[in-house]
Structure 1
Amino acid sequence: MSGLNLLYVEDDARLAQDVAQLMAAEGNRLSWTASGEEGLKRAGTEAFDVVILDRMLPDLSGIEIVRRLRDAGIAAPVLMLSALGRAENRIEGLDAGVDDYMAKPFDPPELVARVRALQRRAAGQAHSAVILFGDLECHIKARTAHRRGRHLALSPKEFALFRYFMENAGEVVTREMLLRNVWNLSFDPQTNVIDVNVGRLRRKLEEGFDAPVLETIWGTGYRLVAA
C-alpha cells in the first residue's frame, strides 16, 4: 500500500495517533478529525482513497455519515471501526453503505490489509465503469442502476446486491456467496436479511416490466437472467 490518501474520523485521539503512525509507516498520508460533521464535509469535498470511520462519534454517528455520503452519490470506500462488533451491528453498517467493518480492538496488520484491499477494489472499478446485461445497466462510479433506460432507485445495499448479480450475470449465486461478498460475513447470522433485500431488489428490477430478470433457485440461491 503506497502513497494512499486516507481520512480517519475518530474521537479517540490516542487511537487516531496510533493509526496515523501505522499508516505513515506504510508510506501513506492520513488526515484525522475527531468531528463527525467535519469528517462528512471533508469526505464529501476532498478525494480520499479510503475513509476510515469510527461508528460512535459525539456529534454525528458513523452510520449517519456513510448514509449521507451514499445518498450524495459519493462512492469513496469506507471502512468502519467500532466496539460494536456483533453480527447485527455489522449488518446495519454494511446496509448503510459501508464497504468493510472491523470490530475494536483490531489487529494492526489486518487493518493495513483491509485498507489495501478496499483501495484495490476501488481502483478496479475505475476500469469497468458500466456493466451491461440484457436490458440492465450497472453504473459503478455513479452507483446507479437502469433497466431499458429507466433509472431504478436503489438503496446502497440493493445497489451492492445488483452489482454483484451483474458481475455474475447468468450464473447461480448462492446465499453463502452473497454473505461473503456483499455482507462481508463468513457465517450465516440466521436472519432473513438476504431474502428481504433480494425481494426488495427484485421488485425494483421487475415492477412495471413484462419479463422477470431475477430467478430464485430453490435450495441454492439466485440467478440474474436476460429479459
Structure 2
Amino acid sequence: RAAFGGARTDQLRRAAVRVLLIEDDLVTVGFLTERLMEAGCHVVHASDGATGRRLAVAGGFDVAIVDRMLPGLDGISLVQSLRRTGWRTPILFLTTMSGIEDRVDGLEAGGDDYLVKPFAFAELHARLRALTRRPTSASAETQLRVADLRMDVVTRRVWRGDHAIELQPREFQLLEFLMRNVGNVVTRRQLLEGVWEFHFDPQTNIVETHISRLRTKVERECGQKLIVTVRGVGYLIRDPAA
C-alpha cells in the first residue's frame, strides 16, 4: 500500500513517532501495526494491561492506543494507574464500547481521546497526529500559583498553604486549566473541550459536579474562596487580594 498522509506522513517518518499499542485482538493489532509502520511510526505492542503498564512506565513513547477490554488489568484501570504516577503521554482509547457514558468514563479516567470500533484508519491517524502536536508539560510553565494555592504540574501535587490536596486525575486537569487562565472567565464549553476533549455537549452535569468537588477540596481548609461562578457565563479562579 502507499503510505498514508502525504506530506504529513513524511513529517511523521522524520519524527519517528513511537506508539504504544495495548490491544489483545490480534486482527486489530496486525492491521494497525502494518498501517502505522507504513506511516513511519515505530509500534510497540502489549497484549494485556499489566504488560502495557510496564512498557509505559519504562517510557519513551509519544502516544498510546489503549483498548478498554483487556485481559487482567482493564484499560480504564490501566490508564487511571498511569495517570496517578504522573504519566502524561497522550492516550487514545480504541474500543467497541460506544455509549456516551462509556466515552465519559474513558475520558474521566485520563484518556485524551476516544475512538469507537469499527474505525477508519484515516480518522485514527488524524487523531494521533493531533495528539502528538499538542505541547507537552516541558514546553509550558510547570509551577502555578494563585494566592496560597500552588500546583506542581510535573509531580502533579497541589497545596493550599502548607496543606497538601489530593486530587483525582480529572480534578487535577480541571484545576490546571483554571489556574492557567487565572483571572479569566472560562465557559462550560471551553472546559468540556479543554479538559474532557469533548467537542460536543454530553448533556450531563459533568462540569458542575467536578467544579463542586474541586471547590470542596481546595476551599475546605480555608475560608477564602478562589473558584468563582459567573452565572450564565462560566467559572474563573482569582486571587481575592489581586
Q: TM-score range by the shorter chain?
A: over 0.9
Aligned to 2:137: 125
For each residue in 1:119-168, what CA deviation from the matched residue of structure 2 results, as whole angstroms up to 9, or x when unmatched?
232x4321222233333333222222233353221100101101111121
Tell me how far apart the structure 1 counterparts of residues 59 and 40 of structure 2 sit (CA, whole Å): 20
Tell me how far apart the structure 1 counterparts of residues 121 and 162 of structure 2 sit (CA, whole Å): 45
Structure 2 SS opposite 1:126: helix
- Count of residues in correspondence between the two structures: 226
Moved over 4 A (4+): none
The 1:143/1:115 distance shift into structure 2, 3 A limit, reads: farther
Tell me how far apart the structure 2 counterparts of residues 26 and 131 of structure 1 sit (CA, whole Å): 38
Aligned to 1:174: 187
For each residue in 1:17-52, what CA deviation from the matched residue of structure 2 results, as whole angstroms up to 9, or x when unmatched?
211122212222110121111111111223211111
- TM-score, L = length of structure 2: 0.87
Question: What is the percent sequence identity of the aligned residues?
Answer: 37
Tell me how far apart the structure 2 counterparts of residues 20 and 63 of structure 1 sit (CA, whole Å): 22
Structure 1 stretches of 5 or more lacking a match? Answer: none
Structure 1 SS opposite 2:136: helix
The 1:44/1:14 distance shift into structure 2, 3 A limit, reads: same
Tell me how far apart the structure 1 counterparts of residues 229 and 164 of structure 2 sit (CA, whole Å): 24
Aligned to 1:14: 27
Tell me how far apart the structure 2 counterparts of residues 100 and 119 of structure 1 sit (CA, whole Å): 12
Tell me how far apart the structure 2 counterparts of residues 142 and 75 of structure 1 sit (CA, whole Å): 11
Tell me how far apart the structure 1 counterparts of residues 66 and 72 of structure 2 sit (CA, whole Å): 13
Which has the higher Rg, Structure 1 or Structure 2? 2
The 1:117/1:132 distance shift into structure 2, 3 A limit, reads: farther
Aligned to 1:191: 204
Tell me how far apart the structure 2 counterparts of residues 124 and 78 of structure 1 sit (CA, whole Å): 13
Q: Which residue type is aligned with residue 111 of structure 1? A: L
Q: Give the deviation of 1:6 after TM superposition.
A: 1.3
Structure 2 stretches of 5 or more lacking a match? Answer: 1-11
For each residue in 1:77-100, what CA deviation from the matched residue of structure 2 results, as whole angstroms up to 9, or x when unmatched?
211111112211111111111121
Q: Which residue type is aligned with residue 124 of structure 1? A: T
Q: Does the Cα contact within 8 Å between 1:75 and 1:141 map onto a contact in 2?
A: no
